[in-house]
Structure 1
């Protein structure tokens, strides 16, 4: 025993917050010095418990010690036990210990107030530019677990993690393995949804490009332009009033379209449709005549009825004086 029979070492140790042993305690020298003083307050008490409590409380009356190093909760527990077990209660001694405990409590409260005031002053004077990132959210437990998985230290514990039960508010409990399978299914569904959205986006973009290339029907919205292009292609491939096949006219229009920047595949389709439809209108309006050679798959033959005319707009005014060569012609 460090303090002899007149003190209780266990009481002193419990009152000292965070001290594992009196022999290694940082307060041992002060306690020994104070216990030998005859005028110290604990000398006026008789019970070893009372003397031990008073010794610790006296030491923390000094301003250079932190009152939070005293465990007042342990004092309350031990004091209640002493009252319950005591046959005769020494009220003056109890009052003395309560007064000393209150003094320690007041010191703890004052230290809290001082810390708060210093913190407020510090916040007013210093402006922090720190923006919390992943470092501010760092968690030791998560780091240690990840490190254990990577180094293999957690290999023995990992199987038990998947066997545990996860309880929800409703329904049966599920294992972590089942939960992971559910997450995999959710991930698969999310991938499928993203794929569908990507395909839909590609289709929309393709439709937009198609609409940009073909803004409406070629044979309605720009009919007069198609008629003029077809007539010019016919004039470019024939002399005077010599007959020419429809395929030759379409071929000439195909070349002209490619020269104007149209893709070859699109130019072929566009020229064939335009040439066929436009020749019907040109025949109806009296620009050309149309016939077909005899036999199976006989060629469609066109013939310019106005071989001497080289200007489509002028010829249109001659044939249809009331029509607008730049507008749509009613047929």
Structure 2
């Protein structure tokens, strides 16, 4: 909010201007330079700096679509403050629709990075050094990995009052208490005293209009609440808070047939799915071990013993 020049990646961004910057990642083996486009919208009036970031995992396209819609609808043009959009963060993974960086690493497990580490680590370091210090708030958009489908949700730490308040204002169907994961972007930004909301919704390599709509509406609510854009916040649901959660894993290998929908409340001993063999003589039921909400479902048709099938809350422990 100061009157100091706003300089990002070595370029001064004047008030009231739109600027597109390129964060250089590396060169391909063909010598082609790979750059991450960064769209900066700065209002004439001073205010908070909000970063909207998607595609940290290259195959998580719902988040890319959310930011695309925000830009297309001009929601990213503030009346006060600055909005930075990075629609595709892991440009390598996005190009070939894979989760990882070319070095095989999960970019979300190498922060804050290193100037001399792996390719993923060097990229993380560039972001933490050159972008992160200049932002106040971050919304990081994710989806379920592989064939796992997440219900629309915000993940945050219940001990942080401001983050919890913003999660309510975002107004997703579910707000899930989530501890920090070592070397993740969220943990690193938290250590830098940045306020971070992590949105999850849908599954990788799949556009889900309902999830995209939740993401756009929630982001608009946050930007309105922070005073960057005009309007009123929109409440469409009463978010369900989940504290104690557990993955349910496949007790057998076989064909996986679902009996429940994502986002539903199930009772203990309710049949969630059946696992079958392809020859017609094996059929095993998967039961709910306790009462709770299902907020992530494995949508793969074939599972192996030990695969994660459902992520659900344990309402008995929540009550305790």
The interval holding the TM-score normalised by the smaller chain is under 0.3
User: Which TM-score applies when normalising by structure 2?
Assistant: 0.20
From the two aligned structures, give the one with the greater helix fraction: 1
The TM-score, its normalising length taken from structure 1, stands at 0.20
